[in-house]
Amino acid sequence: MRSDTSLTTEVDPYDLLSASSVIGTMDPQDTIPPMPDAALHQLQQLQRWRGNRTGRGPETLTDEWKRIGAQVKRDHKRVGGVLEAWELCVPESLRGACRVDGYSRGVLTVAVEGSPARFELDRALRGGLEGRLKQLLGTAFQRVRCVSAPIDSAS
């Protein structure tokens, strides 16, 4: 009959049959073979890249407000100058009938209510409004795109 010490030295940790036969005689920590340094390094690097996945959502309402505030600041930084330039350049007669709807990839989208306002905006753009916007906004600005949409008096 074999002793327990000879059994633990002969067990291949990757052989499930021999490992299961001595489970009762071994410490659970002895059944797991040590991880090579390269594999351990790769595992640690993967954990750093993935980050902490357990805390995905906001933990408090304050965290959510901070996230929303940061998003608003980013949006204002990206679009705020466009809105200010539009308000500075657009003729007074068009302010109630037009609103900035978006700005993406150098294209300023303007919502216009009705054909008369669209015609007047087109004349203003051709008459120098687009050039003034280009001066104020720099090289990132390319053109103005007009879309038909109802304009709320509140916005």
pLDDT tens figures, 91-130: 888 888 888 888 888 888 889 988 888 999 899 889 988 8
Q: For the beta carbon of residue 133, count every other beta carbon within 10 angstroms.
A: 20
Q: How much is the pTM?
A: 0.49
Residue 31: what pLDDT? 59
CB contact set of 148 (below 8 Å; sequence gap of 6+): 111, 112, 113, 114, 118
The structure tokens 């302010």 sit at 95
Quote the DSSP letter at residue 139.
G
Residue 25: what pLDDT? 57
| Long-range pairs for 125-133: beta carbons < 8 A, 24 or more residues apart | 129/89, 129/90, 129/91, 132/89, 133/85, 133/86, 133/89, 133/108
| Long-range pairs for 1-6: beta carbons < 8 A, 24 or more residues apart | none
Q: What is the CATH number of domain 80-148?
A: 3.30.300.130
Residue 49: what pLDDT? 82
Distance in angstroms (rounded) separating the CA atoms of residues 74 and 68: 10
Distance in angstroms (rounded) separating the CA atoms of residues 155 and 144: 20
Task: Give first-to-last CA distance, the chain, whole Å.
Answer: 90
Quote the DSSP letter at residue 118.
H
Q: How far from chain centre, in Å, is Cα 73?
A: 14
Q: How far from chain centre, in Å, is Cα 77?
A: 16
Pairing of strands 107-112, 98-104: antiparallel
Per-residue pLDDT 10s for the chain (155 aa) are 455 554 445 555 555 555 555 555 555 555 566 667 888 888 888 888 887 666 555 567 888 888 888 888 887 777 777 888 888 888 888 888 888 888 888 888 889 988 888 999 899 889 988 888 888 877 778 888 888 888 775 54
Can you give the residue ranges of every domain in the chain?
Answer: 4-41, 80-148
- The helix or strand, by DSSP H or E, that contains position 107, with its residue range, turns out to be strand 107-112
Q: Of how many residues is the chain composed?
A: 155
